[in-house]
Amino acid sequence: MPRQVAIERVRNIGIMAHIDAGKTTTTERILYYTGVLHRMGEVHEGTAFTDYMDQEKERGITITSAAVTCSWADHTINIIDTPGHVDFTAEVQRSLRVLDGAIALFCAVAGVEPQSETVWFQANQYFVPRIAFVNKMDRVGANFNRVLDMMRSKLAAKPVAVQIPYGAEDKFKGVIDLLSMKAIIFEQSDGGNFEFTSIPDEWIEAATKARQELVEAVAEHDDTLLERYLGGDEISVEDLMRGIRNATLHLKITPVFCGTAFKNKGVQQLLDGVLHYLPSPLDVGHVHGHNVANPDKEETRKPSDDESIAALAFKVITDPFVGRLTFIRIYSGTLTVGQQILNVGSDKKERVGKILRMSANKREELSEAFAGDIVAIPALKFTKTGDTLSDTKYPILLENIHFAEPVINQSIEARTQADQEKLTESLHRLSEEDPTFRFHTDAETGQTIINGVGELHLEIIVDRLKREFNVPVRVGKPQVAYRETVTNTASANGEFIRSAAGKNQFGQVTILVRPNEAGKGLEFRNELAPQTLPDLYIKSVEKGAIEALRVGPVSGYPMIDIMAVLTDAAYNEDDATETAYAVAASIAAQDAARKAAPVIMEPLFQVEVVTPEEYVGEVIADLSSRMGRVEGIHSRDILQVVTAVVPLSQLFGYVTQLRSLTQGRGSYSMHFARYEPAVKK
């Protein structure tokens, strides 16, 4: 089956913003006007098409990024409606990795909100061109120009209005198009009909000023337009649109639209903007990867159906009807049903049984998929998020998706013993879907520990275990994994002299215990003079001493970073046994450890907090109150990065406190640094 729509007419876009800015509502309107829906759903009623999970309907928020395909003006648009809550930024990250462009949505009242900043800077990392839509212009307090100012100050962006609102709040009637210099008035019912009219006299001055600013901003990045502008020549709408497009694709400017999705005003013009200003796969150009045989050698694939297949798996979900579904973005080549492809990372071959085009939780079977398409493939056995799928003969390894580390932990257990195996299986499936969710069994406490990026994230996981997998669980807090070590040097003698069943057993040694280098663990050294003790018994001494030092004398925690030294031994050839020397070494090592000033060690974590500058003082004060030591502060774009070392025991609940301190605009990551003596609380 030949390609239905030329690749230059394909747009892969995401809609990203802070929670409650209107992303899902805007997506609903887009689907309605493009003919995918015949009735508009509402988030507040729980009828939104892309919010199909029970938790999404109840909370009125988007949790998973939903993929949907629609058509507008002979173009195919693949849209991913991404979550806005900070606990689900992984969904945004993996979407941005495979999208070519994005719509950044801002509330006309609240402006640039904390999560808007997070996703904006994520889009910068992936070099994703954006257009902006100032939504909710009909709300009390709506202020279009203030949103533009906030974009400049908080995002270091260069917003350029291609429309200005015609009125605001309850007087919002439509938009004024700055290219055609016409007012667009929408009918009141569903906004499907609108008309172009002359700009009212009272708006001509504002529109003329805004258009001049638009032309100047675009001409700044186009030498030809600049020359004509400075020469006083009239710039045509086509030339201006071409200039806007070029500057947008190179991330020089962000064209800004406005309207109210809920009242159905401005959405069609936003769709036109997607076609005019956001890139097609051809504009994005070659995808870069690595040669499998020689990872230092770069390889590329051009966005062509005739190239060998190269695709990236960016999302895995469990569909109640189809089972395990893997979403992929095809960068080059043609994928057909029945084709065998290579999972490059695992070096496993997969067979494509079906190709599905997904519209949220609805699906359409395809016989082929082409370069630029976003599709889902069921029943791939070995593929997980971030894996590259390629031609078996011409493999290429694409760059993986890097996710933030999970920073909040909880213990979890099934309510009944019978459900324990089911719980483990369910956690495996959830961790396959969500790369920021992990779990493991603590070897010391026996607890199952789940890890996520926030309390809501883990709350949703627990809720899904109950509803989707029918595994009710109890959730608690995990125990901190403390350790013990010695801070001094001490020596002790141990002996084992026993007679059993007519056979004598003899073993006598002196063990010195001292601190070892950090990270070296438990080590044994023999400092006996040669021939003092046969090698057979030295090995028994080593085994006995190391086993004895595994459990600390203070609270029974595992011991770390200790050197046990065999300094003296008595030997009786007739009565010596391996068991006797092992027991004697155990007695000596335990006694020496008790004398060598043992202490409890706690895990310290290296913490990196990213926050706007105005909250740096509060962040540092809070870290200090948690017995953290601040090691440095440096800038990253317009944000500040505070690095500190903090005891793990003081970090439970920190994600919530940080959001409270920074009005939700701060984020942090942490990783294990080292163990240090525990400070008494």
Q: Give 495-522 as a DSSP string.
A: EEEEEETTEEEEEEEEEEEEE--TT--E
pLDDT of residue 64: 40
- Which sign does the torsion angle of CA 29, 32, 35, 37 carry? positive
- Residue 560 DSSP code: -
**Would you state the pLDDT for residue 1?**
60
The total number of residues written for the chain in this structure: 681
> Do 357 and 363 meet the contact criterion of CB atoms below 8 Å apart?
yes
Give the N- to C-terminal CA distance of the chain in Å, as an integer.
Answer: 70
| Contact (CB, 8 A) for 115 and 664 | yes
Between CA 411 and CA 399 the distance in angstroms is 33
Measured distance CA(3)–CA(6) in Å, rounded: 7
Between 452 and 42, the more confident residue is: 452
Burial profile 197-227: b = 16 or more Cβ within 10 angstroms, e = fewer: eebeeebeeebeebbeebbebbbbbbeebbe
Determine how β-strand 397-398 pairs with β-strand 75-81.
Answer: unpaired
Q: How far apart are CA 465 and CA 473, in angstroms?
A: 8
* CB-based contacts of 174, cutoff 8 Å, min separation 6: 166, 167, 183, 184, 185, 186, 194, 265, 266
CB atoms within 10 A of CB 74: 9
Residue among 90, 119, 87 nearest 103 (CA): 119
- For the stretch 617-665, pLDDT in tens is 999 999 999 999 999 998 876 788 899 999 988 887 788 899 899 988 8
3-state secondary structure at position 412: strand
24 compared with 603, residue with greater pLDDT = 603
pLDDT in tens, 115-165: 788 788 878 888 999 999 999 999 988 999 999 999 999 899 999 999 999
Higher pLDDT, 520 or 343: 343
Q: pTM (2 decimals)?
A: 0.70
Would you say 407 and 453 are in contact if contact means Cβ atoms under 8 Å apart? yes
Could you tell me if 435 and 401 are in contact, meaning their C-beta atoms sit under 8 angstroms apart? Answer: yes
* 201-219 and 237-249 helices, crossing angle to 10°: 50
Band of pLDDT at residue 189, cut at 50, 70 and 90? low
Residue 336 pLDDT grade (very low, low, confident, very high; cuts 50, 70, 90): very high
Nearest CA-CA partner of 508 in 451, 430, 586, 397: 586
Q: Which of 80-89, 316-325, 439-448 has the lowest mean pLDDT?
A: 80-89
Q: What is the pLDDT of residues 267-301, one digit of tens each?
A: 999 999 999 999 999 999 999 998 888 878 889 99
The helix or strand, by DSSP H or E, that contains position 216, with its residue range, turns out to be helix 201-219
d(CA 59, CA 236): 48
- CA separation (Å) from 275 to 13, 75, 184, 534, 608? 10, 8, 19, 83, 40
Q: Which residues pair with 69 in a beta bridge?
A: 78
Q: Residue 188: which pLDDT band, with cuts at 50, 70 and 90?
A: low
Q: Are 588 and 492 in contact (CB under 8 A)?
A: yes
DSSP tag of 8: G
